[in-house]
């Protein structure tokens, strides 16, 4: 075995009984750099726009691969600081463009443990306890979607995109490669890409002028189609947060013999809120449901879920690779994990989810959900109180669309970019009623009424310029 050159000790490992001793000082450096970078940035985004950010980052990062390394302290300090300084910070109350969640501190702490342990969820001998935990948590999440007695199940994914892809894959395996996806024109682009990737016919798109899939319009489309059908409904659209009428759509699917998938990437966690759960009535009638806890679940990326009513529905994912799940190992009782994903090496994303569910409980999570939904109502009130601003509609979830009254689209687009370049506010954009709107997606439970008021003042200031 080669010995390292003199003066270069082997970098310590994170795991094992001594890993914590090695990590502790490094974590101190990381936490200081995170603090200083965020404090220096001040706002939700670095000021100065892409060129300035890239230049600053280059100064910190180069040389990317020096002949002689800087050592861990310097590399961590410099790069973590540079990334924090140049970050879009979803924990800032004026960072509200996308379904880009501010993760809970406890979930991030758990995620650190997942990195340290580095379990790989593709075979039991790489993840003994983590695989048992994943089985418990996925079952518990599936029970929330499908509460009737039975054997519902769920798999963890990298997010809504992968969950939707798996849903279409399961439908293809169940109904054959001619299965026709039918969806609203508000459906997330990942459904269209999944159909393309899986070689399915191009989805038939139903116009949604009212913002949700209209049962009468869907009925007409389904009546005209032949062959196996998969209707994809949305519980929480990306642009407006609207929820399709799930029960009525499930009835229609029954009438036409169509399968139903619900993309609840955004709205899924309403299941845990007694106040808002009725908005998802009928979701349990879907053949598959996408949830995504790195949106309204305050998890660091990645925390996607695909739930199905019966474990057997996941059978098409079954796969054997002799080095991971040989038949004789499985017969001898080693759990077979490979069929829980299309990925092979897979992080124990379950740990942060399990810690969050246990730490906050149903009521704690419901309180967060209710709080951000209330914040959206308040922001809508504040918009309505201002004659210079127009509200698109009262929010369903946490998305609020608004625009300066009577302004051309280019004013909205330019003001959004001005705020981004100044680093003072991060708002999204959405087209509705053939006009361009500012989109505020509120996911920060710590945002105060004062923060929301300031956000509107910033917008008013930028549109006046």
The minimum distance between CB 304 and ligand PLP, in angstroms, equals: 6
Considering the complex, state which of residue 240 and residue 273 has its C-beta at the smaller distance from ligand PLP.
240
- Of 165-173, 211-219, 233-241, 385-393, the window that binds ligand PLP (rule: CB under 6 A) is 233-241
Considering the complex, state which of residue 159 and residue 211 has its C-beta at the smaller distance from ligand PLP.
159
The verdict on 89 binding ligand PLP (CB under 6 A) reads no
Q: Are 281 and 233 contacting, i.e. CB atoms less than 8 angstroms apart? A: no
The verdict on 444 binding ligand PLP (CB under 6 A) reads no
In angstroms, what is the C-alpha Rg of the chain?
A: 24
Output the residue with the shortest Cβ distance to ligand PLP.
Answer: 159
- In sequence order, the β-bridge partners of residue 231 are 182, 260
Cα of 154 vs its chain's centroid, Å:
16
Q: How many residues bind ligand PLP (CB under 6 A)?
A: 14
Which residues, 319 to 348, sit near ligand PLP by CB under 6 A?
none
Considering the complex, state which of residue 86 and residue 160 has its C-beta at the smaller distance from ligand PLP.
160
The minimum distance between CB 151 and ligand PLP, in angstroms, equals: 26
Considering the complex, state which of residue 194 and residue 324 has its C-beta at the smaller distance from ligand PLP.
194
Considering the complex, state which of residue 400 and residue 456 has its C-beta at the smaller distance from ligand PLP.
400
The minimum distance between CB 436 and ligand PLP, in angstroms, equals: 19
Considering the complex, state which of residue 103 and residue 236 has its C-beta at the smaller distance from ligand PLP.
236
The DSSP H or E segment spanning 403 is: strand 399-404
The verdict on 265 binding ligand PLP (CB under 6 A) reads yes
Strands 229-234 and 426-432: unpaired
Residue from 23, 45, 99, 259 binding ligand PLP (CB under 6 A): 99
Q: What is d(CA 138, CA 153) in angstroms, rounded to the nearest whole number?
A: 6
The verdict on 160 binding ligand PLP (CB under 6 A) reads yes
Residue from 134, 263, 313, 336 binding ligand PLP (CB under 6 A): 263
Considering the complex, state which of residue 265 and residue 398 has its C-beta at the smaller distance from ligand PLP.
265
Q: Are 300 and 292 contacting, i.e. CB atoms less than 8 angstroms apart? A: no
Q: If you write DSSP's letter for every residue of 189-239 in order, what string do you get?
A: HHHHHHHHHTTPPPPEEE--TTSS--HHHHHHHHHH--S-EEEEEEBS-TT
Q: What is Dmax (Cα atoms) for the chain?
A: 77
The verdict on 188 binding ligand PLP (CB under 6 A) reads yes
Residue from 122, 134, 244, 292 binding ligand PLP (CB under 6 A): 292
Residue from 161, 165, 208, 424 binding ligand PLP (CB under 6 A): 161
The verdict on 190 binding ligand PLP (CB under 6 A) reads yes
Q: If you write DSSP's letter for every residue of 51-80 in order, what string do you get?
A: HHHHHHHHHHH-SSS-SS---HHHHHHHHH
The minimum distance between CB 300 and ligand PLP, in angstroms, equals: 12
Q: What is d(CA 74, CA 30) in angstroms, rounded to the nearest whole number?
A: 10
The verdict on 398 binding ligand PLP (CB under 6 A) reads no
- Of 78-86, 128-136, 259-267, 419-427, the window that binds ligand PLP (rule: CB under 6 A) is 259-267
Considering the complex, state which of residue 111 and residue 263 has its C-beta at the smaller distance from ligand PLP.
263
- 104: how many CB neighbours lie within 10 A of its CB? 20
- 355: how many CB neighbours lie within 10 A of its CB? 19
Considering the complex, state which of residue 75 and residue 301 has its C-beta at the smaller distance from ligand PLP.
301
Close Cβ partners of 419 (under 8 Å, ≥ 6 residues apart)? 425, 426, 427, 458, 459, 462
Residue from 44, 90, 159, 241 binding ligand PLP (CB under 6 A): 159
Structure-derived torsion over alpha carbons of residues 308, 168, 297, 379, reported in degrees to the nearest 10: -130
Place of tokens 């020096």: 66
Residues counted in the chain: 465
Q: Please state, in angstroms and as integers, the Cα–Cα distance from residue 375 to each residue in 20, 259, 447, following that order.
A: 40, 36, 8
The verdict on 84 binding ligand PLP (CB under 6 A) reads no
Residues in contact with ligand PLP by CB under 6 A are 99, 159-161, 188, 190, 234, 236, 238, 263, 265-266, 292, 304
């Amino acid at each position: 075995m080669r010995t390292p050159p003199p003066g270069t000790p082997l970098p310590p490992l994170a795991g094992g009984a001594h890993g914590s001793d090695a990590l502790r000082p490094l974590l101190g450096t990381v936490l200081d750099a995170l603090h200083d970078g965020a404090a220096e940035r001040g706002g939700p985004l670095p000021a100065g726009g892409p060129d300035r950010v890239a230049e600053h980052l280059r100064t910190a990062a180069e040389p990317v691969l020096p002949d002689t390394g800087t050592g861990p302290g310097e590399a961590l300090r410099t790069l973590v600081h540079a990334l924090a300084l140049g970050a879009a910070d979803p924990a800032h109350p004026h960072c509200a463009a996308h379904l880009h969640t501010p993760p809970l501190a406890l979930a991030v702490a758990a995620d650190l443990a997942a990195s340290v342990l580095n379990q790989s969820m593709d075979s039991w001998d790489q993840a003994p306890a983590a695989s048992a935990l994943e089985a418990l948590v996925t079952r518990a999440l599936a029970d929330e979607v499908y509460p009737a007695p039975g054997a519902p199940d769920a798999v963890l994914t990298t997010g809504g995109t992968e969950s939707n892809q798996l849903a279409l894959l399961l439908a293809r395996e169940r109904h054959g490669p001619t299965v026709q996806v039918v969806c609203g024109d508000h459906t997330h682009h990942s459904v269209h890409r999944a159909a393309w990737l899986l070689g399915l016919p191009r989805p038939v798109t139903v116009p949604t002028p009212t913002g949700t899939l209209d049962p009468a319009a869907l009925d007409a489309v389904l009546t005209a189609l032949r062959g196996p059908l998969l209707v994809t409904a949305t519980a929480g659209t990306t642009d407006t947060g609207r929820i399709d009428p799930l029960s009525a759509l499930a009835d229609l699917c029954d009438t036409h013999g169509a399968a139903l998938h619900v993309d609840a990437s955004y709205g899924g966690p309403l299941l845990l809120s007694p106040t808002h759960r009725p908005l998802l009535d009928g979701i349990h009638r879907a053949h598959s449901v996408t949830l995504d806890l790195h949106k309204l679940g305050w998890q660091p990326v990645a925390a996607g879920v695909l739930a199905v009513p019966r474990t057997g529905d996941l059978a098409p994912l079954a796969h054997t690779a002799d080095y991971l799940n040989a038949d004789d190992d499985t017969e001898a009782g080693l759990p077979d994990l490979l069929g829980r994903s299309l990925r092979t090496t897979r992080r124990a994303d379950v740990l942060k989810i399990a810690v969050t569910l246990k730490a906050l409980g149903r009521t704690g999570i419901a309180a967060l959900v209710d709080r951000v939904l209330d914040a959206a109502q308040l922001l809508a009130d504040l918009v309505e109180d201002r004659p210079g601003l127009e509200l698109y509609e009262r929010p369903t979830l946490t998305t609020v669309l608004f625009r300066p009254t009577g302004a051309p689209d280019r004013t909205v687009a330019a003001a959004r970019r001005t705020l981004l370049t100044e680093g003072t506010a991060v708002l999204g954009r959405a087209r509705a009623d053939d006009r361009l709107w500012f989109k505020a997606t509120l996911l920060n439970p710590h945002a105060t009424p004062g923060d929301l008021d300031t956000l509107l003042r910033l917008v008013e200031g930028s549109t006046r310029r």
